[in-house]
Homo-oligomer: A and B are copies of this chain.
Amino acid sequence: MTDIEIAQNTKMDKIVHVAAQVGLNEDDIEQYGSYKAKIKLPLKTTKATKRKLILVTSINPTPAGEGKSTVSVGLGDALRKLNKNAMIALREPSLGPVMGMKGGATGGGYAQVVPMEDINLHFTGDMHALTTANNTLAALIDNHIQQGNALGIDQRRIVWKRVLDINDRALRNIVIGLGGPMQGVPREDGFDITVASELMAILCLSENLHDLKARINRIVIGYTTDRQPVTVQDLQVGGAIATLLKDAIKPNLVQTLAHTPAIVHGGPFANIAHGCNSVLATQTAMDLADYTVTEAGFGADLGAEKFLDIKAPVLGKTPDTIVIVATVKALKLNGGQALKDLDIEDLKALESGIVNLTHHIKSMAQYGIPVVVAINRYTQDTEREISYIKEVCEKIGVQAIDTDVWAKGGDGALDLAQAVVKSVEEPANFKPLYSNDAEITEKIQTIVTKIYGGAHVEYSKKARNQLKRFKKNGWDKLPVCMAKTQYSLSDDPKKLGEPHDFTIHVKSLIPKLGAGFIVAMTGNVLTMPGLPKHPAALDIDISDDGKISGLF
């Protein structure tokens, strides 16, 4: 059966019953249909006694897939099976890619969050609220210029782009304001996909409505002709933009196929942003459940590093255990086996590719947090391959546990759950990677050396000039958000495994003052995807009685 068939064949619990499992009554939630809800904040009471946080991350992703969301869901279900008060806190998927490539972002097989069609389509409207807020701000900027430009905004230096939650390459580079003096001021512009908007990063880092508005007001939308930053505060529209996000800021409650309560909320890019679900979602789960399983985007070098260095300080809580997901196939691909041959046992490729896993184990261990490895099993994996991974991990003092969540759901992760329950009780001794007071360049060097295993950082002329201006603007000690390829520890997507002695090339820096970090661009990041030759939209259909097919 396909993912959508498995999901459609499972009877969901009413969301009020799911909420009741974690002590939320009908008045504590806002229902969106019978199977989705928003959780009203602040919570009236908190139910958790333990507040243990488990961060699920992975080796560098490969085209073979690693299944981080699937393992997160399976682990949450398994913890419930062990009678633990557990919740899952995942990222919210973007709609655009759903019309392009088959495959959603809600787990897979018997480890899914549901209703998967809704979560992958409009869900509770968070993406649409972000799109509207982002584009309302854009319209207000162009209107400000059209109506006399009192702030002296340089129309060549507007950095606030428009967004749509659609894969639409034709909108990447456009010219707007054509048609004469009544139709605006002509200028170059472009659309990003909604999840790339700074507003998404802001939503995910905001502690409440007050903080949300303050962050929005700090957004730099462009520069004046004499290169001074212009903020939303200067435009005096922070209140209106925050108003448009009043519901989007509330965490969404859904369930897994096994009825485990899951919060699915917020999903910023893991390259130009921090790649984690919202602080409010994770906080709410920790307030309601003893064990919160959450995930971060891409591999540990991107998502987990940002969780620990950017999100955790806002959350005020570091993980009690980090689970690193690996698959036999992905490790063999890292070791040089061809994509088409991954079904064949190849211990040599595994041996040569496992360095990617051990690298991530060591880099995470630097934070002083216990690490557990989850091997996400495929039917074609052999016992010898699985055993080899376990042995290698054991040698460096880490438990690697076989899981089979796609086929078995929570039953496929009981061993992992038991290991995690033990692991979170180990005394943690969190050591931050860098000091807040360090300069941007020092922070970047630290990440490159300690997390990527690289040697040098090279700055382009543009980046060096930007660093000088940032110093003038007082932005030189902000946290750093690295925008790097997810496929390699280096900035070259072809260097798999564990490259050494490489140089990271910082081409430019993007200040995201609302999110509160500086993005370091180490390559070209596509912020507006395109559609493929045969888009998934060609196969998607809905029956007369509303049943969706072809989505996954």
| Chain A interface residues toward B at CB < 8 A | 30-34, 38, 95, 99, 121-122, 125, 128-129, 131-132, 135-136, 138-140, 142-143, 146-148, 164-179, 182-185, 208-210, 213, 236-237, 239-244, 246-247, 530-531, 533, 535-538, 540-546, 548, 550-551
Identify the 5 closest CB pairs spanning chains A and B, nearest first: A239-B541, A128-B128, A170-B184, A173-B179, A240-B537
Q: Provided the pairs A147-B533, A240-B538, A242-B542 are in contact, do residues A174 and B176 lie with their beta carbons within 8 angstroms?
A: yes
Q: Which residues of B contact A550 (CB under 8 A)?
A: 239
A175 near B172 (CB under 8 angstroms)?
Answer: no
Decide yes or no: A140 and B537 within 8 Å by CB, A33-B38, A122-B132, A169-B146 being known contacts. yes
A-B contact pairs, 20 of them (CB 8 A): A30-B32, A30-B33, A125-B125, A136-B537, A139-B167, A139-B531, A140-B531, A143-B169, A146-B170, A170-B184, A172-B178, A172-B184, A173-B177, A173-B178, A175-B178, A209-B543, A236-B538, A237-B538, A239-B542, A242-B541
User: Is the pair A542, B179 in contact by a Cβ cutoff of 8 Å?
Assistant: no
The docked-state distance in angstroms from the alpha carbon of A30 to that of B34 is: 6
Distance of A166 Cα from B132 Cα, bound (Å): 7
**Known interface pairs A128-B131, A170-B184, A237-B537; 18 further A-B residue pairs with C-beta atoms within 8 A, sorted by A's residue number:** A30-B31, A30-B32, A30-B33, A32-B32, A33-B38, A139-B170, A142-B170, A170-B177, A172-B183, A173-B178, A184-B530, A209-B544, A210-B544, A239-B542, A240-B537, A240-B541, A243-B540, A243-B548
Q: Which residues of B contact A240 (CB under 8 A)?
A: 99, 536-538, 540-541
Alpha-carbon separation in the docked complex, A206 to B148 (Å) = 45
Flag if A548 contacts B143 (CB, 8 Å). no
Which residues from chain B contact A172 at a C-beta distance below 8 Å? 178-179, 183-184
| Given the contacts A139-B166, A172-B184, A128 and B132 also touching, CB distance less than 8 Å | yes
One complex includes copies of this chain to the number of: 2
A531 to B138, CA, bound (A): 12
Chain B residue nearest in CB terms to A238: B541
Residues of B within 8 A of A148 (CB): 533
Question: Whole-angstrom distance from the CB of A302 to the nearest CB of chain B?
Answer: 25
CA gap between A237 and B540 in the complex, in Å: 8
Distance (Å) between the CB of A136 and the closest chain B CB?
6
- Residues of chain B within 8 A (CB-CB) of A531 are 139-140, 143
Measured CA separation A172–B146 after assembly (Å) = 14
Question: Closest chain B residue to A139 by CB distance?
Answer: B168
List of B residues within 8 angstroms of A544 by Cβ: 208-210
Bound Cα distance A213, B38 (Å) = 31
Across the interface, which residues of B come within 8 angstroms of A171, CB to CB? 139, 176
User: From A175, which residue of chain B is reached at the shortest CB distance?
Assistant: B175
Q: Which of A121, A131, A174, A551 has the most chain B CB atoms closer than 10 A to its own CB?
A: A174
Q: Is the CB of B183 within 8 A of A170?
A: yes
Q: Which of B99, B131, B173, B543 contacts A183 (CB 8 A)?
A: B173
Known: A31-B32, A174-B176, A239-B540. A169 touches B184 (CB 8 A): yes
Contact status B176-A170, CB under 8 Å: yes
Question: Which residues in B have their C-beta under 8 angstroms from that of A125?
Answer: 122, 125, 128
Task: Determine how close the nearest CB of chain B comes to the CB of A175; give it in whole angstroms.
Answer: 5
Closest to A142 in B: B170
A514 to chain B, nearest CB (A): 16
A271–B244 CA distance with the chains assembled, in angstroms: 28
Which residues of B have CB within 8 Å of A32?
30-33
Q: A184's closest neighbor in chain B, by CB?
A: B170
Q: How far is the CB of A124 from chain B (nearest CB, A)?
A: 8
Nearest Cβ in chain B — how far from A100, in angstroms?
9
Q: Report the Cα distance A32→B15, complex, angstroms.
A: 13
Neighbouring B residues of A31 by C-beta, 8 Å: 30-33
Partner of A132, one of B95, B136, B139, B551: B95
Q: Is the Cβ of B168 less than 8 Å from the Cβ of A121?
A: no
A143 to B169, CA, bound (A): 8
**Residue of B with least CB distance to A247:** B122
Question: Pick the contact of A166 from B34, B136, B242 — CB < 8 Å?
Answer: B136
Whether the pair A243, B538 counts as a contact (CB closer than 8 A) is no
| B140, B143, B246: the one within 8 Å of A546 (CB) | B246
A247→B542 CA distance, assembly (Å): 12
- Point out the residues of chain B lying under 8 angstroms from A38, CB to CB: 33
